[in-house]
């Protein structure tokens, strides 16, 4: 029965190899991502996914990333975040506003895990937030819209009347009015972050009302497609959406998370990570105007480039005075800039937006 003795010997050898292997594996930083919608090929989540892929490429072998997509906000989110932490992920990115409370709750239960929550405002000792100044991109998009629109009316397909979305609408019309002081924007709320059918119908309803530039704060490419079909212009959001409307797509205000994610992982690997409330925009390379259409003339691109430079050097901010709200009240005096807190809680329209804001 000599052959039977080989088995325990082989088992011991295997165990020894495994043990020898684990120290190397333990150096790997396990990172988890929670996505609110399907990754798709464009949109909010797709841009985060590009960030995650950037991490895999940049830190090859030193990190192991996992992601869970289409996680609804609420109780399900807490379950997923908790599971990621339990599975040994030491750094967890939760990429939607509605994950705020679940993230903070799980962070308290896992003090040795680092958490980063996008677009929120609650922090813990081990849970930070990162906010993107997407309104800078909206403002620049507005400039383009103002210059390119023939009717002077833009249509905005929006999801829910929360401050973040309202902020985007306001920044857009501020930019549009700078290029065309008589411009106005009409808003349709589709009550969903993602419903291609409804988004398309909303875009068509706006076009029927005379809008010839369509902007969106929803997650599918349907509004761009609708604009293409009806022969008007569109501005993409989150990602370059020109593939879905080559003749319509003027430009897209895109989000670039690669730099930020790389910096966070870098700090984490050097044990220098701290929970903080980070805000970044054009200056930090997080908001990028991309997907310029062939129909946009060079002088419009030059204007946008100049304004981008002004924002980068701090000489200009979209919400600087003088600024009036829709009912004529002055909300920012000339020469002043709106404080970050007021920007974050904005729940009124500025001049130039048609229609009333739905009461909460």
Partner 1 sequence: MIEIAEVVVVILVATLRAGTPLVLAALGELVTEKSGVLNLGVEGMMLVGAVAAIIATLGTGSYAIGTFAGTLAGLAMALLFGLLTLSLRANQVAAGLALTIFGLGLSAFLGLEYRDKPLDGLRPLAVPGLSDVPVAGPLFFGHDIFVYLSLVLFAAVAWFLARARGGLVLRAVGEAPEAAHALGHKVLAVRYAATAFGGAMAGLAGAYLTLVYTPMWADQMTAGRGWIALALVVFATWKPVRVLLGAYLFGGVTIAQLHLQAQGVAVSSHILAMLPYVATILVLVLIARDATRIKLNAPAALGKPFDPGR
Contact set with partner 1 (CB under 8 A) = 38, 40-42, 70, 155, 161, 186-192, 194-198, 200-202, 204-206, 208-211, 220-222, 225, 229, 243-244, 354-356, 358-359
Q: Between 155 and 168, name the residue whose CB sits nearer to partner 1.
A: 155
Min. distance of Cβ 249 from partner 1 in angstroms?
12
The position carrying tokens 């984490």 is: 268
Min. distance of Cβ 295 from partner 1 in angstroms?
19
**Cα–Cα distance for residue pair 70/68, rounded to 1 Å:** 7
Q: Beta strand pairing status for 233-238 and 213-217? A: parallel
Residue 94 · residue 122 · CB < 8 Å:
no
Min. distance of Cβ 163 from partner 1 in angstroms?
15
Q: Between 5 and 360, name the residue whose CB sits nearer to partner 1.
A: 360
Q: Token pair for residue 24?
A: 């190397």
DSSP class of residue 325 equals B
Q: Token pair for residue 149?
A: 């629109």
134 CB-near residues (< 8 Å, 6+ apart):
168, 253, 255, 281, 287
288 SS3 class: strand
Residue 291 · residue 242 · CB < 8 Å:
yes
Min. distance of Cβ 345 from partner 1 in angstroms?
20
Q: Between 124 and 354, name the residue whose CB sits nearer to partner 1.
A: 354
The position carrying tokens 């940049």 is: 58
The backbone torsions φ and ψ at residue 115, rounded to the nearest 5 degrees and listed phi first, read -120, 140
Min. distance of Cβ 153 from partner 1 in angstroms?
10
**Cα–Cα distance for residue pair 293/333, rounded to 1 Å:** 36
Q: Between 135 and 199, name the residue whose CB sits nearer to partner 1.
A: 199
Q: Between 223 and 281, name the residue whose CB sits nearer to partner 1.
A: 223
CA angle 48, 305, 281 (to 5 degrees): 35
Q: Between 162 and 338, name the residue whose CB sits nearer to partner 1.
A: 162
Q: Beta strand pairing status for 233-238 and 277-280? A: unpaired
Residue 275 · residue 128 · CB < 8 Å:
yes
Min. distance of Cβ 131 from partner 1 in angstroms?
25
Min. distance of Cβ 149 from partner 1 in angstroms?
16
254 SS3 class: strand
Q: Between 275 and 357, name the residue whose CB sits nearer to partner 1.
A: 357
């Amino acid at each position: 029965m000599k052959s039977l003795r080989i088995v325990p010997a082989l088992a011991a050898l295997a165990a020894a190899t495994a043990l020898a292997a684990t120290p190397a594996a333990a150096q790997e930083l396990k990172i988890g991502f929670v996505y609110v919608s399907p990754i798709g090929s464009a949109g909010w989540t797709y841009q985060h996914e590009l960030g995650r892929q950037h991490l895999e490429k940049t830190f090859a072998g030193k990190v192991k990333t996992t992601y869970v997509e289409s996680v609804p906000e609420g109780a399900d989110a807490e379950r997923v975040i908790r599971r990621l932490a339990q599975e040994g992920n030491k750094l967890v990115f939760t990429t939607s506003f509605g994950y705020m409370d679940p993230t903070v709750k799980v962070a308290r239960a896992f003090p040795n895990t680092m958490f980063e929550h996008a677009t929120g405002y609650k922090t813990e000792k081990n849970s930070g937030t990162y906010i993107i100044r997407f309104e800078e991109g909206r403002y620049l998009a507005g400039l383009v819209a103002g210059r390119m629109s023939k009717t002077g009316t833009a249509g905005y397909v929006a999801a829910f009347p929360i401050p973040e979305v309202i902020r985007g609408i306001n920044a857009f019309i501020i930019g549009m009015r700078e290029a065309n002081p008589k411009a106005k924007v009409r808003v349709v709320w589709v009550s969903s972050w993602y419903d291609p059918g409804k988004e398309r119908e909303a875009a068509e309803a706006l076009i029927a009302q005379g809008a010839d530039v369509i902007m969106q704060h929803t997650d599918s490419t349907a509004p761009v497609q609708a604009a293409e079909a009806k022969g008007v212009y569109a501005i993409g959001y989150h990602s370059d959406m020109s593939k879905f409307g080559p003749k319509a797509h003027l430009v897209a205000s895109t989000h670039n998370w690669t730099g930020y994610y790389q910096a966070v992982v870098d700090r984490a690997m050097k044990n220098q990570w701290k929970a903080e409330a980070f805000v970044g925009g054009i200056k930090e390379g997080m908001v990028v105007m991309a997907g310029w259409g062939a129909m946009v003339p060079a002088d419009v691109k030059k204007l946008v480039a100049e304004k981008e430079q002004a924002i980068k050097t701090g000489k200009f901010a979209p919400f600087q005075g003088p600024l009036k709200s829709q009912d004529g009240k002055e909300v920012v005096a000339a020469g002043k800039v709106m404080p970050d807190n007021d920007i974050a809680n904005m729940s009124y329209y500025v001049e130039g937006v048609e229609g009333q804001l739905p009461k909460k």
